[in-house]
Amino acid sequence: MREVQGQVVVIGAGIAGLAAAHRLLERGARVTVLEASDRVGGKLLPGEVAGARVDLGAESMLARRPEAVALARAVGLADRLQPPATATASLWTRGTLRPFPKGHVMGVPGTASALAGVLSEEGLARIERDAELPRTEVGDDVAVGEYVAERLGREVVDRLLEPMLGGVYAGDAYRISMRSAVPQLFQVARTHTSLTEGVRELQAKAAAAQQTGPVFMGIRGGIGTLPLAVADSVRARGGEILTRTPVTELRRTPEGGWQVGSGEREWRADAVVVAAPAPVAARLLRAETPGAAAELDAVEYASMALVTLAYRRDETALPDGSGFLVPPVDGRTIKASTFASQKWGWIADDNPDLVVLRTSVGRYGETEILQRDDRELVEVSRHDLKAATGLDATPVATRVTRWDGGLPQYPVGHHARVARIREHIARLPGLAVCGAPYDGVGIPACIASAYAAVDQIHGDAGGVEELTAHPVQSLHGGAGE
Ligand SMILES: Cc1cc2nc3c(=O)[nH]c(=O)nc-3n(C[C@H](O)[C@H](O)[C@H](O)COP(=O)(O)OP(=O)(O)OC[C@H]3O[C@@H](n4cnc5c(N)ncnc54)[C@H](O)[C@@H]3O)c2cc1C
């Protein structure tokens, strides 16, 4: 491993910033992490409801990519890693909870055979036309919803793809980039005429590669404990983490280094990693690279809220499985629910008298629902939960966590925007960016982007190349929010 010389400032102590700091320290740099809020972790947030420890932000990490699980191991959490207790998720559609059909990539099916009940007769027949239709050209990028609707019909988009994408991106399938959000499907679209044939091939390849371990992994105590452990490890290696320190200025020095300002305070650094959300990165980069700032200004975000509810176990009966997704076309308010006590063994073990579950509300462009106060969000959640599962008990405690600007959106052309941002940044030695706005919003992708940023800082060839070749999501079996 090559050494990084000198002092590096990392801006933002979300999982990307912390992973960058961790990697920089491994490579011998001196590191200071500056974090605006009073805690580390960003979108990873441990908390509690009715005394039960739970995640109030991200709650699971893809295990089919190595970065997140490897980082958890590296910071001493190996014996706390725990896969979901159940991988079965449901779809609440047409008034009933149905098992989410198996054999799909991000909701896109390899065959129509498992979809009876979920799709109408016409919807099922439309899928079969995929085999006869001429090739659909995708060019440099295409909205995933547009492409899938053309091949398999709108019902597949509305009832399968949309709830899956809503779970990961809180976005709109007809805007989201297939190339950035579901790169495996983009590859298939480039090389195959029939989409279902391509999906079946992806599944066969995954099976041949013996990808049989858990698709997702959790951590006993919550995914929110990961940034805390990384932060501990950063400090143990001599790194400094300052919370309540919002960076307000970033300038090059005449000597070619960097000057980082937070109000009256100032740091000098040989290199800087900006691991803050896009609007903040835009503000900080405006002075030195207005081109990158303009591109970052154009990155839009979706906001959402999570409603966590705790019930007495003896008053609560839920259907089996880890929870359910909801197609927006059905007009419900919640977009998903996770039965946390059923999904995570550690939550059930720690709280034998409670059942904890959560719902999520808010998608890209849906602003009205998030104007409602906490009490109303709890009420709409209870209303929808009752309709979906029959759960009519009164929760012993509830908690609403709002994530304004929670998830960056990857519209068509996102990859080209990210390439332009990186071109601008590459002209400024000792500067790198990482985190959710760039190469994937999932935790492993954010960590990978942090490692690529570290590679870039000391000029290792290949970091970014390798990163963009990585799939953002692997074959997906379960529901998330
Ligand atoms: C509700 C929700 C649920 C999710 N669930 C999952 C999941 O289950 N699995 C999964 O893989 N992904 C999930 N995601 C996505 C994933 O959690 C995020 O994309 C990822 O954590 C982002 O990490 P980050 O470090 O890039 O950014 P952030 O977590 O946003 O961290 C950025 C940090 O920068 C700080 N900052 C901002 N401005 C400044 C400034 N001026 N100076 C210094 N610091 C600043 C912020 O305070 C923050 O701490 C979820 C996201 C949300 C919102």
Higher pLDDT, 461 or 111: 111
Distance CA 220, CA 168 (A): 22
* 209, 240, 272 - which closes a domain: 209
Q: DSSP states of 310-359 as a string?
A: EEEGGG----SSSEEE--GGG--S--EEE-HHHH-HHHHHH-TTEEEEEE
CATH of the domain at 366: 3.90.660.20
Contact residues of ligand 1, CB 6 A cut-off: 11-17, 34-37, 42-44, 57-61, 246-247, 275-277, 280, 304, 306, 403, 406-407, 435-436, 441-443, 446, 480
- Show the 3-state SS of 191-218: HCCCHHHHHHHHHHHHHHCCCCCCCEEE
Confidence of residue 166 (pLDDT cuts 50, 70, 90): confident
Claim to verify: residue 186 and residue 325 sit in the same structural domain: no
Claim to verify: residue 287 and residue 414 sit in the same structural domain: yes
Confidence of residue 169 (pLDDT cuts 50, 70, 90): confident
Claim to verify: residue 290 and residue 152 sit in the same structural domain: no
Q: What pLDDT was estimated at residue 345?
A: 97
How far apart are the CA of 17 and the centre of ligand 1, in A? Answer: 10
Q: Which is nearest to 321 in space by CA: 100, 140, 113?
A: 100
Q: What pLDDT was estimated at residue 3?
A: 58
If you average pLDDT over residues 194-202, what whole number do you get?
Answer: 95
Q: What pLDDT was estimated at residue 210?
A: 66
Please determine, for residue 472, whether its predicted confidence score (pLDDT) is greater than 80: no
Please determine, for residue 34, whether its predicted confidence score (pLDDT) is greater than 60: yes
* CA end-to-end span of the chain: 37
Helix or strand run (H / E) with residue 144: helix 144-152
Please determine, for residue 480, whether its predicted confidence score (pLDDT) is greater than 50: no
How far apart are the CA of 437 and the centre of ligand 1, in A? Answer: 10
How many other C-beta atoms lie within 10 A of the C-beta of residue 79? 8
pLDDT tens profile 412-444: 999 999 999 999 999 999 999 999 999 999 999
Please determine, for residue 282, whether its predicted confidence score (pLDDT) is greater than 50: yes
What's the whole-number average pLDDT of the chain? Answer: 92
Confidence of residue 385 (pLDDT cuts 50, 70, 90): very high
Confidence of residue 41 (pLDDT cuts 50, 70, 90): very high
Position 84 in a domain? no
How many other C-beta atoms lie within 10 A of the C-beta of residue 182? 30
Q: What pLDDT was estimated at residue 12?
A: 98
Claim to verify: residue 428 and residue 390 sit in the same structural domain: no
Q: What is the domain extent for residue 110?
A: 90-209
Q: What pLDDT was estimated at residue 215?
A: 86
